[in-house]
């Protein structure tokens, strides 16, 4: 029988947001540190620098358009890039 690994970490996030206009909100977020609790390694922002940029544009009181750009590690930005888009609806 194989053993399963269930890593547990305590993450310290950091985010900075800007309300550029009444309709446009921008946010950048990262993880400053991941402290190992079980089956993982402690990492700091100097080891790996994840970065997510979020842009939300309000089309009205009930609908927003959202675009997210995520880099797994800013220090190796060409290795992995994820782009997501969506719509937020409020009823």
Cα separation, 87 vs 49, in Å, equals: 27
Q: What is the number of alpha carbons within 13 Å of residue 55 lying toward its C-beta?
A: 9
> CA triplet 34, 40, 42: central angle to 5 degrees?
35
Give yes or no for residue 12 having a pLDDT over 80: yes
Domain coordinates of the chain in residue numbers? 9-89
Nearest CA-CA partner of 45 in 9, 12, 7, 8: 12
Q: How confident is the model at residue 68 (pLDDT cuts 50, 70, 90)?
A: very high
pTM above 0.95, yes or no: no
pLDDT digits (tens, 9 = 90+) for 15-46: 999 999 999 999 999 999 999 999 999 999 99
């Amino acid at each position: 029988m194989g053993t399963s690994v269930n890593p547990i970490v305590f993450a310290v996030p950091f985010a900075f947001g800007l309300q550029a206009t009444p309709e446009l909100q921008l946010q950048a977020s990262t993880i400053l540190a991941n402290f190992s609790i079980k089956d993982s390694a402690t990492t700091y922002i100097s080891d790996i620098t994840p970065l997510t940029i979020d842009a939300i544009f309000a089309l009205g009181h009930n609908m927003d358009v959202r675009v997210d750009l995520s880099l797994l590690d800013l220090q190796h930005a060409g290795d992995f890039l994820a782009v997501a888009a969506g719509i937020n609806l409020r009823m």
